[in-house]
Amino acid sequence: MDRRQRKTRERIFKAFTELLSQKDVNKITVGDIIEKADVGRATFYAHFPTKDFLIKDLNEELFCHVFDSVESDGCHKHIFKCEETRSIYLHLFKHLQNNDNGILDLLSGENNELFLRYFKEGLKKLIEKDFEKSEYTGSEELPKAFFINHLAATYVETVRWWVDNNLKETPEEITHLYLTAINLKGHRV
Amino acid sequence: MDRRQRKTRERIFKAFTELLSQKDVNKITVGDIIEKADVGRATFYAHFPTKDFLIKDLNEELFCHVFDSVESDGCHKHIFKCEETRSIYLHLFKHLQNNDNGILDLLSGENNELFLRYFKEGLKKLIEKDFEKSEYTGSEELPKAFFINHLAATYVETVRWWVDNNLKETPEEITHLYLTAINLKGHRV
DNA sequence: ATGTAATCGAACAACACGTTCGACACCGTT
DNA sequence: AACGGTGTCGAACGTGTTGTTCGATTACAT
């Protein structure tokens, strides 16, 4: 990809991210973005047909990276290994704490719904894949689909709570809260 | 309140609700609403300064009614009574299944986030109030604030899952799934 | 050095917003 | 039945946003 393209793309992402942490996404105009990014109007539309696509691409950039770095990391074959230091969940919490890609700015603020929803979907796929590997077929108590949704949703809501409360807990602590909340031991390994 | 006012308010709510179940809230214009509601432009703005206020008022109309009907219903002093037939949660699930106020149309569709968020906040207050009554101060495992958030979030996500899957379970069944998910017995009465 | 491709910025039409105003219809009251 | 008050109507208006166009300029890859 052309260097110019990468640069403008970056600048638009950056400007948009900053704006998102300041005001409601619906109040952000293309004018705002291109001014902050210092980019021509036509250029913006050459990259993104509309603001929704910008959001979509931003989501992909954020989470594909996060999830990929998890999957390619060979030691995470089973999400629920309960060896906490290796847990994929701890891993993700640490990513957050580092504020990789300025993801914290996006998850705090009023627009977090925009990303948490996407995040949840990615998580669900990840968990599902893990379940297939370990040939989990559901418990007597909870049907599989419900359980997967519950695990992902609880994780996302834990993240939301953590971020809203300014990351007071360490990644290890918040991981422990999460695992306790889903009552890991009660369900399976 | 003047009968005319009530009527237009109703018609706007109704039109907006129908539109919400059809397309994204951001794509709904005031023009769409007043056309469907068959109401003058100036009239709309006499009632709602902006679309956001319309959403806010709609939320209040929906959930204040639901929550009020729960609170004024004397037999719900303790949310977690575990006598399932009296559970506030079962009660709410039944409300949903009845599609009171067309709430189902709002919770399915792409705009559910708009209402689930509000719903969650109301739930949190309700749970918190209940905790105060029963003088719950948190467990050794989970701090109170986290636990309350977890309970409300899990309920809302259960509702979301239920609605997304077309209410296949009975209110009793879905209540049971919820109570199992939060592992009621493990935490407290 | 050259052809290609991205960027710029101004201008444009289309549309949505929120307001104003005069005219009319309906309401509750007397 | 008549009244004043108030809600509604609908057209018109200024403003701001959107997404597109186009010619000129600049940076890129080779």
Q: Residues of B from 50 to 69 whose C-beta is within 7 A of strand C: which are they?
A: 50-51
Q: Is the pLDDT of residue B144 over 70?
A: yes
Q: Are B62 and B101 a contacting pair, CB within 8 Å?
A: yes
- pTM of the full structure: 0.90
The two three-digit tokens of residue A114, written as one number: 């925009």
Whether residues A63 and A2 share a domain: the answer is no
User: Across the interface, do B177 and A149 touch by the CB < 8 Å criterion?
Assistant: no
State the average pLDDT over residues A52-69: 89
CA distance B27 to A28: 15
pLDDT of residue B64: 84
In 10 A of CB A108, how many CB atoms?
15
Which bin fits B109, alpha (ψ -120 to 50), beta or left (φ > 0)? left
* Dihedrals phi, psi of A142, to nearest 5 degrees: -125, 130
- The boundaries of the domain holding residue B110 are 52-187
Candidate from B26, B150, B160 with C-beta closest to A181: B150
Place of tokens 């004024």: B72
Lowest mean pLDDT among A36-45, A69-78, B82-91, B142-151: A69-78
Whether residues A23 and A64 share a domain: the answer is no
pLDDT of residue A34: 98
Q: Is the pLDDT of residue B186 over 60?
A: no
CA distance A146 to A152: 10
3-state secondary structure of B33: helix
Q: Is the pLDDT of residue A168 over 60?
A: yes
Our separate counts of H helices and E strands in chain B read 10, 0
Lowest mean pLDDT among A24-38, A55-69, A114-128, B34-48: A55-69
Lowest mean pLDDT among A148-162, A166-180, B121-135: B121-135
CATH of the domain at A32: 1.10.10.60
Whether residues A63 and A153 share a domain: the answer is yes
Whether residues A85 and A37 share a domain: the answer is no
Q: Which of B172, B168, B170, B124 is nearest to B150 (CA)?
A: B124
Q: What is the pLDDT of residues B73-98, one digit of tens each?
A: 544 445 554 454 457 899 999 999 99
User: Across the interface, do A142 and B186 touch by the CB < 8 Å criterion?
Assistant: no
The number of folded domains in chain A is 2
Whether residues A80 and A23 share a domain: the answer is no
Whether residues B84 and B20 share a domain: the answer is no
Whether residues A75 and A22 share a domain: the answer is no
% of chain B with per-residue pLDDT over 90: 72
User: Across the interface, do A146 and B161 touch by the CB < 8 Å criterion?
Assistant: yes
Confidence of residue B138 (pLDDT cuts 50, 70, 90): low
Q: Is the pLDDT of residue B189 over 50?
A: no
State the average pLDDT over residues B17-35: 97
pLDDT of residue A3: 95
Contacts 24+ apart (CB under 8 A), A85-94: A87/A175, A87/A179, A88/A126, A89/A155, A89/A175, A89/A178, A89/A179, A90/A171, A90/A172, A90/A175, A92/A66, A92/A155, A93/A159, A93/A162, A93/A171, A93/A174, A93/A175, A94/A171
The two three-digit tokens of residue B120, written as one number: 């969650």
pLDDT of residue A100: 85
The secondary structure of chain A, three-state, reads CCHHHHHHHHHHHHHHHHHHCCCCHHHCCHHHHHHHHCCCHHHHHHHCCCHHHHHHHHHHHHHHHHHHHHHCCCCCCCCCCCCHHHCHHHHHHHHHHCCHHHHHHHHCCCCCHHHHHHHHHHHHHHHHHHHHHCCCCCCCCCCHHHHHHHHHHHHHHHHHHHHHCCCCCCHHHHHHHHHHHCCHHHHCC
Q: Is the pLDDT of residue A39 over 50?
A: yes
Confidence of residue A73 (pLDDT cuts 50, 70, 90): low
The two three-digit tokens of residue B84, written as one number: 């399932």
Best A150, A161, A176, A184 member to test B by mutation, with max B CBs in 10 Å, is: A150
Whether residues B128 and B174 share a domain: the answer is yes
State the average pLDDT over residues A52-79: 77
Whether residues A147 and A61 share a domain: the answer is yes
pLDDT of residue B24: 96
Please name the helix (run of DSSP H) or strand (run of DSSP E) that holds residue B133, with its range, or none: helix B113-133
Candidate from B149, B158, B160 with C-beta closest to A161: B149
Cβ contacts below 8 Å, chain A against chain B, sum to 55
pLDDT of residue A169: 97
The two three-digit tokens of residue A177, written as one number: 């809260």
Whether residues B4 and B59 share a domain: the answer is no
Nucleotide nearest to B2 (CA to C1'): C27
Whether residues B12 and B98 share a domain: the answer is no
User: Across the interface, do A181 and B157 touch by the CB < 8 Å criterion?
Assistant: no
Q: Is the pLDDT of residue B133 over 70?
A: yes
Whether residues B62 and B44 share a domain: the answer is no
